[in-house]
Chain A
Amino acid sequence: MLRIINGEVYDPIHNIDGEIREICVRDGYIVSSLEGGGRTIDAAGMVIMPGGVDMHCHIAGPKVNTARKMRPEDHRRDPVPKTSITRSGVGKSVPSTFATGYRYAAMGYTSAFDAAVPPMAARHAHEEFSDTPVIDKGFFVLMGNNEFIMQQIAAGEREKLRHYVAWLLQATKGYAIKIVNPGGVELWKFRGNVHSIDDEVTGFGVTPRQIIASLAETNTELRLPHPVHIHCNNLGIAGNWQATLETMKALDGQPGHLAHVQFHSYGGRPGGLFTSRVPELAEYVNTHANLTVDIGQVLFGDTTSMTGDGPLAYMLHQISGRKWVNVDVECEEGCGIVPIEYKDKNYIHATQWAIGLEWFLLVRDPWRIALSTDHPNGASFVAYPQIIRLLMDREYRKEALKKVNPKAIAKTSLPDHDREYSLFEIAIVTRAGPARMLGLGHKGHLGVGADADITIYDKQEDKEQMFANPRYVIKEGQVLVEDGHIRQETYGKTLFVSPSYDVAVEKDIREFFSKYYTIEFENYPVQLEHYLPRPHEVK
C-alpha cells in the first residue's frame, strides 16, 4: 500500500490540472482511499503524472539486435555497470535490453511499444521483451507488404483478409497492425520501390492506397484497440508531403495513426533540398478527427537509423556512405539499418529538426499528437526531456534556433511560434494521449482502477532537468526508482491482442506456407506459455 500526498497532480484524462490531490495505491492499482498503514510519500513541491507511454520506438527484435551487433563503437562510449540489483549492459543509440528497461524507468516511462516487428521474428521480439526489465511492452506487427494480405486485397477477399489478420495477431502475440511503405518494401526485394500511393505493386495487382484502406477497414472491423499505424511511402524524400496527405485521405474517415510525421512532411522535388510543408499537413490533421500522429523528432548527434523501410535505408547509405544492413524477410517484410549523425549546421538536418517542432506547435489538439523520436531514428528516447524543454520554454527554443543552420530555419514557420506547452499538455503528449491512442484504458491516467504506474518529479524551472531525473518512479504500485537509482528490479507485462477468427482460413494459410515459407505452419505461432512471462491481453 502506498499513499502519495501533497503533490500537484496532472491527470488530463480526468481533467485534473495541477490540483493538490492524494493518490492511493493498493495491489498495483489506483484506489479511491486507503485504510491502515503502508508507505506515505510526501510529494510537496512535486509534480505527479501517470507513467510515461512511448507509443513508437524500436527496442526489440531482429532489426534492433542486428543494429546492436553492428555498432560496437556506439556501445563502447556508454557502458552500464551491473549493481547489486541490476544487470549490466550498454547504452547509446541502441541499448542492450536491460539498459533499455532501466533507462526508460529512470526517465519516468513505464510502457513502450516497438513499432515494427516482422511476424516471422515475433518470437525473437518476445525473447528480448523477457529480458527488458521494468516497463510494460508490446509491439506492432508489420503487414503492409505481406504477400498473403496483398493477394487477398487483390482478390477482393475481404473476409479472408480479416480472418488472416486476426490469425496473424494471435500467432505473433502482437498489439496492432503496422504498415511500412506499403508495397514499396515488396518491390525493394527486386530492388524497386513505389513512388506514389497509386503505383501498382508489380506482381500483386494492388496499390499502396488499397493496402492502406483495406487494412484500416480490417482494423475497424476487428475492433482493435489501436488504429492502423502507418509509416507512409517516400519517407525522407523531398516532396513526400503529398504522399502523406494522400495517405490521410485514403483512410477516408477511418481511424489511423501516422507515425513519425516529421519524416513525411517535406516539400520540394525528389533528389533536391526540401522545405517544410507542415502547415498544410497539420491543418489537415486539425480538421480530421480520425487522425493521430507521433512526431519522430530529430535531435542533433550520432544515432542509428533502423526501419522496416529497406529502400529508405539504402538511400541513407548512398548519401552517407556509412555501413548498411538490409534484411528481406520472406513473404512479409524487410528492414534496413544505417548509422546517422544529425548535424545542426546541415541544412537538411536543421530543417528536419525544425519540422518536428513545427508539428508540435501547429497541431492544436494535444490529444492527437504523441511525443516520439522514433527512437533511435531521430534520436535516442533519452532525449525526450530535451524535447519537453523545447516545447515548454520559448526562450530556450529561441536560443536553440540561433545555433542551427539559419537558412533552413528561415524557410520554416518555427520562428513565428510563441506557443509554450503547459505541464498539462506535456502530460497529454507523453502519457495520457498515447495511452488513449493505443486504447489502453488502464494506463495514462490516475483514476481508480488504473495501473499504479506513477512518476513524481521535483518541480524545477529547467524542464529538461526535471523530466530527466524523476524523484520517484512507481510501477504497479512499487517504488522502483528513487532519486535516479533503481531500487528493485521487476519485469513488466507484455500487452497483446487476441481477436477471434474463423479457423477455416487456416487451410489457405497452411497452403501458402507450404508453398512459400521455409518454416512449418505448425511451428510459426508464438506459444504464450513460453514467450510471454506476464501476458496481458488488451480487448
Chain B
Amino acid sequence: MQYDHVVCAFCGCDCDDISVTIDGDRITQAKNACVLGKAWFLSHGRPSDLPVARIEGQPVSLDEGIEAAARSLAESRYPLIYGLSSTSCEAQRKSVALAEVLGGCIDCCTSVCHGPSGMALQGVGEPTCTLGEVKNRADLVIYWGSNPGESHPRHMARYAVTAKGMFIPKGRKDRTVILVDVRRTPSAGAADIFLQINPGKDFEALWALQALVNGQTLDSDAVSGIGLTLEQLTSLADKMMHCKFGVLFAGQGLTQTRGKHFNTSAAFLLIRAIHRHTKFAIIPMRGHGNVTGIDNVLGWQTGYPFGVNFSLGYPRFNPGEYTVVDLLSRGETDAALVVAADPVSSLPARAVRRLSEIPMIALDTHESETTRIARIAFTTATAGIHAEGTVYRMDNIPIRLRKVLSSSYPSDEEVIRRLLVRVKELKAC
C-alpha cells in the first residue's frame, strides 16, 4: 500500500511530499525523502521488540510504568521535563500542563540549539519569512554556520537554491548562493561563493557587515582576525544591499559558538539594517522536526519560548537559571522526564552525570543512550508514522502528521496524559 503527501517529521524542513510504501507491518520505501528521511522512515517503520515500559531495565506493564513514573514525579521537589523536539504539539501541550501541576521546570532542545535565536528575537526582533517566500523571491541566499547538505539535505532543492518560484522562474540560475562557515563543508559545493571565517569570529564579521551596510568606513585593521579581507566583506555587504530579496539561514555555527545570542543578535540587526536598502529575511535552521512546535506551544501557554519555571505557580523565564544544562549541572533537578530527545548523548558530561543520579523517566520511540540509563523507560509510537499530530516547520508553518502504520505502543501524548491525570491525583492527596 502507498500513502502520498506524507510528512517526514525528522528535521525542521518537515517535507510533506513523501510517498511511503507499506508492506505488511513495515515501511519499505519513502520516495522523495532525503537520506536522513529515508533512514527515519525505514528504521521507525518496522516492528520493535522493546517492552512498552521498563523499570530499572525490567519489563513491566504500561500501567505499572505509569504508576511508578507518576509517583516519582509527584514525590520530587524540583522536577524537570525536557526534550519534546521530536513529538507532536498535542504531546507538548500536555507536557506543559504536567510541568505546571508539578511546579517544576520545562525546557526543550531549543535551549541547546536555537535558544540564542529566541533571545535575539527578544532583544531586537526578527525580520523573517516563510520558506515559500525564499522559493518565490530570493535572488540572494546565504547560509551562515549551517551545513544544509548534511543537516537538512532537501533544504536547497525544495526551498532555497534550485527551487523555481514566482519571481525566480529559472531557479538556481536566478540566485546567488553564499556559504559562510569556519570550514569547507560539503555544502560549499552548492554555493557560488564560499567565505571561510576564523572560528569564534562570527560576531565580528556580522558587526563589520552591519557597519558597512550602514555606510560607515572601515579600515583593514578593524576587520583583522575575522578571516575575511575588507574587500570580501565589502563585496558581501554590497551583494546584500543590492539584491531584490535576500535571505540568511542561520545555523548552529552561530548559536552554539562563542558569543551565542550576541551572534544571533548581530545577525538579526544586520538584516534589519539592510532594510534601509532592500528586502531581506533571516530564518534559523531549526534542527528537529518539531522543535519549532515546542517553542510555539510554550509561547502560547506560558508566554516564553523555552526554559520555563513553574515553582511559584506561574511561568517564569530565565535562560541560565531554568535551562536544562544549568539545572542539571548545578545538581538542582531531583527528577526528570525526558520526552522524545536524547540528552545523555548530547548534553555536557556534568549534566549527564546528574541525569544518571536522579530518577529519570524517558519516553522514546527507540532505544537511546537516555532510555538505557533511565530508571523508567517507555517505548512510544512515532509521531508521523504510528501517530497523528501537529508539527511546526522551521518557518512556523503548522502541518498535520499522517499515521501510516498501526502500533501497539501508546503515543507520547497518551503516556503524558495518563501521567498528568495520575500526578494530579497524587498531588491532591
Contact = CB atoms under 8 A, between A and B. Distances in A.
Interface of A: 60, 62, 64-66, 68-72, 75-76, 79-82, 87-90, 94-98, 120-121, 123-124, 127-128, 131, 147, 188-191, 203, 314, 317, 322-331, 334, 337-338, 515-520, 522-523, 527, 530
B133 A330 contact: yes
Contact of A328 (B133, B302, B390): B133
B205 to A, nearest CB: 23
Contacts of B244: 190
Contacts of B392: 124
Given A314-B275, A520-B16, A189 B397 contact: no
Interface string B114-130: 00001001111111111
A325 B127 contact: yes
B129 A328 contact: yes
Nearest to A96: B303
A516 B399 contact: no
Interface in B261-298: 272, 275, 278-279, 281, 295-296
Given A80-B314, A89-B303, A69 B132 contact: no
Contact of B166 (A88, A120, A147, A191): A147
B279 A89 contact: no
A88 B130 contact: no
B315 interface: yes
7 contacts: A88-B302, A94-B303, A96-B315, A121-B398, A324-B272, A330-B129, A519-B132
B296 A72 contact: no
B310 A88 contact: yes
A170 to B, nearest CB: 16
A328 B130 contact: yes
A89 B253 CA distance: 34
Nearest to A313: B125
B302 A72 contact: no
Contacts of B93: 131
A326 B127 contact: yes
Contact of A518 (B100, B125, B127, B158): B158
B313 interface: yes
B322 interface: no
A147 to B, nearest CB: 7
B300 A97 contact: yes
Contacts of A191: 275, 278-279
B89 interface: yes
Contacts of A517: 132
A523 B399 contact: yes
B97 interface: yes
A331 B79 CA distance: 44
B89 A70 contact: no
A530 B4 contact: no
A133 to B, nearest CB: 12
Contacts of A123: 390, 398-400
A331 B132 contact: yes
Interface string B135-165: 1110000000000000000000011000011
B299 A516 contact: no
Contacts of B129: 189, 326-330, 334
Contact of B128 (A71, A72, A97, A327): A327
Contacts of A89: 301-303, 314-315
A461 B398 CA distance: 48
A72 B133 contact: no
B88 to A, nearest CB: 11
B303 A330 contact: no
Contact of B396 (A62, A79, A80): A62
Interface residues of B, number: 63
B305 interface: yes
Q: Is the interface of B mostly helix, strand, loop or mixed?
A: mixed
A96 B301 contact: yes
Nearest to A147: B166
B213 to A, nearest CB: 14
B304 interface: yes
Nearest to A61: B300
B5 interface: yes
Nearest to A64: B300
Contact of B121 (A69, A81, A96): A69
Contact of B281 (A60, A79, A80, A328): A328
A88 B299 CA distance: 13
B204 interface: no
Interface in B194-218: none
Nearest to A124: B398
B133 A90 contact: no
B279 A124 contact: no
Contact of A68 (B136, B272, B299, B398): B299
Nearest to A525: B400
A70 B121 CA distance: 6
A97 B313 CA distance: 16
A127 B89 contact: yes
Contact of A65 (B97, B126, B300): B300
Contacts of A64: 300
A326 B166 CA distance: 21
B97 A87 contact: yes
A294 B56 CA distance: 62
A522 B5 contact: yes
A322 B125 CA distance: 8
Contacts of B315: 75, 79, 88-90, 96
Nearest to B101: A82
A94 B305 CA distance: 14
A88 B281 contact: no
A189 to B, nearest CB: 6
A65 B299 contact: yes
A516 B7 contact: no
B247 to A, nearest CB: 10
B302 A82 contact: no
A538 B304 CA distance: 35
A325 B126 contact: yes
Contacts of B305: 69
A458 B283 CA distance: 52
B296 A124 contact: yes
Nearest to A327: B128
A87 B315 CA distance: 10
A317 B275 CA distance: 11
Interface in B318-347: none
Given A62-B396, A81-B313, A523-B399, A68 B135 contact: no
B392 to A, nearest CB: 8
Given A147-B166, A519-B16, A65 B296 contact: yes
A518 B159 contact: yes
Contacts of B5: 520, 522-523
B139 to A, nearest CB: 10
A124 B317 CA distance: 23
